[in-house]
Amino acid sequence: MRDGGRDRRERREDVRLRGFSTRASLAEATAWVDAHAAALGAEAVEVDAAAGRVLRAALHAPADLPATDRAGEDGHAVRSRDTVGAGAYHPLPLALQAPGAPVGPVTAARVVAGAPLPPGADAVVPFGAAHEDGASLEVVVAIAEGAGVERRGQDLRAGAALLEAGRVLRAEDAALLACLGVPHVDVVRRPRVRLVIAGAKRGPTAPAPPDAAAPLLAALVARDGGAVAELVAGDDRSALAAAMAAPGVDAVLVAGRTGTGPDDVAPLALGDAGDLALHGVALRPGGSAGLGRVGGVPVLLLPGDPLAGLCVYELLGGRLIRRLGGRAARLPHATCDVEVGRKIVSAVGVVDLCRVRLVGGRVEPIGSVEHGGLASVARADGFVLVPAPLEGIAPGARVTVHLYGAAPAELATGGAP
């Protein structure tokens, strides 16, 4: 047997009743995700529905904007030279034409903002700078050439680079495309996710706990631009293998049955259905995560414990969904760099995801890394990732906090996501 084969078999060992003899580093697990999750293909969506989607290819302006020389404000179109010398004490009379009619010497025609500039005119006198008096317009301000006028192509030239590939389209971009008469746009297809609730493992006397994975993961997948297309439950090895192997989705997230208990069969089921690439990641909480593929579709195994499952989703699952959807792979949280106020205790050899609070502009850990459950997340302003080589971070050091929700007011002058 080749070494590669042996190494791979070791990663797939059955850890039940034995524990993990080795774990992949978080960097290895991240690299696996990056190697097996490329951006999906394109689909056309109407511009009304394009905000928040990822542009598949660069767009160039299909037309000039404005499409014609036009009035930039409401008023009267004039020839600017006819207003030279006008003033409050020296009104100049111009002959009023019909609205939109060509403007010749010493004439004026009403025009509204956005309407084409009448032929012959080179400026617009706003209504406040003149008043109509029968068939005459009394102009009381001298107007410079081009004032109140928007020239064809002034905002955007036909053919100019408009939006780069991979841009997350803003509402304003969609509106700009509407202004340009673009009816639909090619965006990266939204990743379809099957969420498999493997069910909490439990002792013979325990009631089934409420399922927290479905509300948690559905909302986070949506945050990352994907959609939970199917939610299925299954708690034995063959049911889980079948749920992983069913076609029709771009990724499978399995919540639960990843640990060392006798009914922790999710890794075995992934090996049955396809390829279990790794099981066990040097991450706390979340050390029992697994990764693999079935028929080319990536499958992530998340611990059933809600906090551990959350950590694995944040560090591996979100990245998977974002990459499939053509988005930036990095964590989507806003961040801030803050000084540590109370020592963050960590373990050497694993990445610790430490929930923290911001107190007086400094960072304090909430409880210990492995304990506190989702209640520690609810109390937290964000989290700090402690790199594997460190056994902690001392007070006074600066750390990057990934923020849950908006930053507290004390950081209101802080930076950007």
Residue 204 binds to a second copy (criterion: CB under 8 A): yes
Residue of the chain from 129, 316, 320, 386 that contacts a second copy (CB under 8 A): 129
Nearer to a second copy, 80 or 97 (CB): 97
**CB 314, CB 320: distance < 8 Å:** no
Q: Which stretch binds a second copy (CB under 8 A): 37-45, 80-88, 126-134, 242-250?
A: 126-134
CA-based torsion, 224, 229, 233, 236: positive or negative: negative
Q: How far is the CB of 179 from a second copy (least distance, A)?
A: 5
Residue 201 binds to a second copy (criterion: CB under 8 A): yes
Q: How far is the CB of 1 from a second copy (least distance, A)?
A: 26
Residue 64 binds to a second copy (criterion: CB under 8 A): no
Which residues ranging from 385 to 414 are in contact with a second copy (CB under 8 A)?
Answer: 400, 403-407, 411-414
Residue 75 binds to a second copy (criterion: CB under 8 A): yes
Residue 199 binds to a second copy (criterion: CB under 8 A): no
Nearest to 225, CA basis, from 290, 353, 317, 335? 317
Q: How far is the CB of 52 from a second copy (least distance, A)?
A: 8
Q: How far is the CB of 239 from a second copy (least distance, A)?
A: 19
Residue 150 binds to a second copy (criterion: CB under 8 A): yes
Which residues ranging from 86 to 115 are in contact with a second copy (CB under 8 A)?
Answer: 99-100, 110-115
Nearer to a second copy, 151 or 343 (CB): 151
Residue of the chain from 45, 50, 185, 188 that contacts a second copy (CB under 8 A): 50
Question: What mask, x for binding a second copy by CB under 8 A, covers residues 361 to 390?
Answer: ---------xxxxxxxxx------------
Q: How far is the CB of 217 from a second copy (least distance, A)?
A: 8
Q: How far is the CB of 159 from a second copy (least distance, A)?
A: 13
Nearest to 311, CA basis, from 289, 336, 296? 289
Q: How far is the CB of 245 from a second copy (least distance, A)?
A: 26
**CB 108, CB 60: distance < 8 Å:** no
Residue of the chain from 156, 253, 344, 363 that contacts a second copy (CB under 8 A): 156
**CB 307, CB 297: distance < 8 Å:** no
Q: Given phi > 0 = left and psi -120 to 50 = alpha, else beta, which region is 120? A: left
CA-based torsion, 178, 182, 184, 188: positive or negative: negative
**CB 69, CB 152: distance < 8 Å:** yes
Q: Which stretch binds a second copy (CB under 8 A): 33-41, 139-147, 291-299, 328-336?
A: 328-336
Which residues ranging from 215 to 274 are in contact with a second copy (CB under 8 A)?
Answer: 215-216, 218-220, 223, 259-264
Residue 196 binds to a second copy (criterion: CB under 8 A): no
Q: How far is the CB of 47 from a second copy (least distance, A)?
A: 6
Q: How far is the CB of 214 from a second copy (least distance, A)?
A: 7
Residue 48 binds to a second copy (criterion: CB under 8 A): yes
Nearer to a second copy, 259 or 267 (CB): 259
Which residues ranging from 12 to 41 are in contact with a second copy (CB under 8 A)?
Answer: 15-21
Name 402's Cβ contacts closer than 8 Å, sequence gap at least 6: 331, 333, 334, 335, 382, 383, 384, 385
Nearer to a second copy, 209 or 395 (CB): 209
- How many angstroms separate the CA atoms of 66 and 155, rounded? 7
**341, two tokens:** 């106020």
